[in-house]
C-alpha cells in the first residue's frame, strides 16, 4: 500500500489500487471506538450520456437514473431491505447521490464486520425486476414532488439554471416525474454494469483499524468482475457565459430567500489552492466578521450570517452565497459590489486564514467527516492531506488574483424565492 502522511497534523493514510482497479483508502484513528466506511462510485446526475465500454454503444439515459439506481440497490432478491438490516445491527447507515457520485455508507461502534458483509453483499448484487422498478417509480415521484415544494431546493435549482445553459448540473438530481417514467430494469442494469465496476469505485474506511487486516477483509468480500475498458462520458460543449441574470419564483416563505451566484471559468489551476483562496475571499469580504456584513445587519438587511459554498468538478465550477432578506436585490447588489471592487486587506486575510485553518484541523478529527472528505476529494482527483501543506503557501497576492479572475459582473446571477 502507498502511504501518505502529514506530520503536522499527525495523519497517516494508506492507499491501495486493487488488481480490479478499485481504490481503497484507509485512515487509521487510534483514539476512537467509532468506525466508518463509505463506498462510492463515480456516477452522478450529470453522467446521463456515455459510451458503454463493452459494446461501444452510445447510451443516453433518462435524467435521474443515478438516484433511481441508488434507491433500488437496497432491495435484495430474498426480500431483505439492506438499509433496515444495517440499522438493525445498530449501525447508522445511509446512501446519497450527488452531481458527480453515488455513495453507500455506515458508521458505528459495534457489529462493523457484520455491516461490512451486508454492505458489500448488496452493492455487488443488484436485483431489478419490472415489478420492483415500477413500484419505486411512485416512491421517487413522491420524493420529487416534495422537493418541488421545498423553497431552498428550488432556489438552488433555479440558480443552476441561471448559471448554466446546457450543462447537466442544472438538472434535478432525482430527475422529473416524466423522465423517471422512462427508466426500466434494463436501463438500471446497463448503468450498474458500466459505473458500478470496481475500477470506477472508491472505498474509504476510517477508525481504529490495522490497515493490512481491514484491506484483506475487504478483498475477500469482493466478487470477481470481468474487466471493462474506459468509461467515456459525453458532456455538452463548454460554456463560458451564464444563461440568465435573475430567476424569481413565488412560494410559501415568510422571508424571501436568495442566492447570489458566480460562474467560475474552468482552468488549469491547482484545485486545492484555489479552493482555499476562495474560502479566504468569502470569509474576508462577506463573512460574519466583515465590514459589509455588519453594515447589512445594522441596516436590517440581514438577520443572520450568509452561507457560501464553492462547488466544482472537471465539468462545472461556481460559487453560491445564500441568505434571507426582505430586500434580496439590495443585498445582492452589495455582495456583488464588494466581491468585485474591494481588495482584501492584509489583516482580514490573516484573520480569515487562521480561522479557516482551525476549521480544517477539526475536520480531520471525526471519522465520518474525514472518510467522506477523502471520498469526495478523491472523486475530484485531490489528496485531502494536501490542504494542510498548500495552506502554508497561500499568500495575499495569490488570493487577490483569484478574486479578480472569478468575481465579475457578467458572470454573476441572482435567484430569489419570495411569497
pLDDT digits (tens, 9 = 90+) for 24-77: 999 999 889 999 999 999 999 999 999 988 888 999 999 999 999 999 999 999
Percent over 70 (pLDDT), the chain:
100
Confidence of residue 259 (pLDDT cuts 50, 70, 90): very high
Grid cell in block for residue 171: 438538472
Mean of pLDDT values over 1-5: 91
Count CB neighbours of 338 within 10 A.
17
Confidence of residue 91 (pLDDT cuts 50, 70, 90): very high
Q: Residue 266: its pLDDT value, please?
A: 76
Residue 268 pLDDT level (bands cut at 50, 70, 90): confident
- Other residues' Cβ atoms within 10 Å of the Cβ of residue 200: 20
Helix (H, G, I), strand (E, B) or coil at 40: strand
> Which residues have a Cβ under 8 Å from the Cβ of 60 and sit 6 or more positions away?
48, 49
CA–CA separation, 329 vs 382, rounded Å? 36
Q: Contact 85/118 with Cβ under 8 angstroms?
A: yes
Of the candidates 339, 373, 379, the one whose C-alpha atom is nearest the C-alpha of residue 359 is: 373
| Cell output for 165 | 445553459
pTM (two decimals) = 0.92
**DSSP secondary structure letter of residue 382:** -
Q: What's the distance, CA 376 to chain centroid?
A: 6
Which residues carry out catalysis?
70
Q: Which pLDDT does position 209 carry in this prediction?
A: 93
The answer to whether 203 and 38 have CB atoms below 8 angstroms apart is yes
- In the block, cell 477508525 appears at 207
Three-state secondary-structure class, residue 363: helix
Structural domains in the chain plus CATH codes = 2-233 (3.30.830.10), 246-418 (3.30.830.10)
Report yes or no: 376 and 101 within 8 Å, Cβ to Cβ.
Answer: yes
Amino acid at each position: 500500500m502507498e502511504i501518505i502522511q502529514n506530520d503536522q497534523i499527525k495523519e497517516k493514510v494508506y492507499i491501495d489500487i486493487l488488481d480490479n482497479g478499485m481504490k481503497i483508502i484507509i485512515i487509521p484513528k487510534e483514539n476512537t471506538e467509532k468506525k466508518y466506511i463509505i463506498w462510492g462510485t463515480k456516477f452522478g446526475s450529470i453522467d446521463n450520456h456515455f459510451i458503454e465500454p463493452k459494446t461501444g454503444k452510445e447510451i443516453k439515459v433518462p435524467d435521474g437514473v443515478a438516484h433511481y439506481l441508488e434507491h433500488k440497490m437496497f432491495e435484495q432478491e430474498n426480500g431483505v431491505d439492506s438499509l433496515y438490516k444495517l440499522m438493525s445491527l445498530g449501525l447508522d447507515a445511509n446512501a446519497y447521490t450527488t452531481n458527480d457520485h453515488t455513495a453507500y455508507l455506515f458508521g458505528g461502534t459495534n457489529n462493523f464486520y457484520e455491516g461490512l458483509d451486508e454492505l458489500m453483499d448488496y452493492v455487488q448484487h443488484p436485483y431489478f425486476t419490472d415489478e420492483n422498478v415500477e413500484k419505486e417509480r411512485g416512491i421517487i415521484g413522491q420524493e420529487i414532488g416534495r422537493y418541488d415544494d421545498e423553497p431552498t431546493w428550488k432556489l438552488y435549482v433555479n440558480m443552476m439554471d441561471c448559471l448554466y445553459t446546457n450543462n447537466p448540473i442544472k438538472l434535478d438530481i432525482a430527475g422529473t416525474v416524466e423522465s423517471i417514467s422512462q427508466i426500466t430494469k434494463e436501463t438500471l442494469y446497463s448503468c450498474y454494469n458500466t459505473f458500478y465496476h470496481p475500477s470506477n469505485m472508491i472505498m474509504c474506511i476510517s477508525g481504529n483499524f490495522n490497515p493490512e487486516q481491514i484491506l484483506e477483509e475487504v478483498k475477500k468480500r469482493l466478487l470477481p468482475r470481468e474487466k471493462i475498458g474506459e468509461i467515456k462520458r459525453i458532456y455538452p460543449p463548454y460554456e463560458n457565459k451564464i444563461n440568465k441574470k435573475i430567476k424569481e419564483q413565488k412560494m410559501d416563505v415568510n422571508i424571501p430567500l436568495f442566492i447570489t451566484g458566480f460562474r467560475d471559468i474552468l482552468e488549469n489551476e491547482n484545485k486545492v489552492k484555489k479552493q482555499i483562496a476562495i474560502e479566504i475571499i468569502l470569509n474576508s469580504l462577506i463573512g460574519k466578521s466583515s465590514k459589509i456584513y455588519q453594515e447589512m445587519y445594522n441596516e436590517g438587511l440581514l438577520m443572520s450570517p450568509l452561507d457560501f459554498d464553492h462547488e466544482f468538478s472537471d465539468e462545472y465550477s461556481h460559487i453560491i452565497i445564500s441568505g434571507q432578506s426582505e430586500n434580496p436585490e439590495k443585498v445582492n447588489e452589495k455582495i456583488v459590489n464588494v466581491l468585485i471592487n474591494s481588495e482584501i486587506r492584509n489583516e482580514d486575510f490573516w484573520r480569515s486564514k487562521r480561522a479557516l485553518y482551525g476549521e480544517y484541523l477539526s475536520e480531520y478529527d471525526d471519522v465520518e467527516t474525514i472518510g467522506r472528505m477523502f471520498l469526495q476529494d478523491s472523486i475530484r482527483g485531490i489528496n485531502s492531506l494536501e490542504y494542510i501543506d498548500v495552506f502554508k503557501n497561500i499568500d495575499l497576492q495569490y488570493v487577490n488574483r483569484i478574486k479578480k479572475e472569478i468575481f465579475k459582473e457578467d458572470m454573476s446571477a441572482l435567484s430569489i424565492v419570495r411569497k
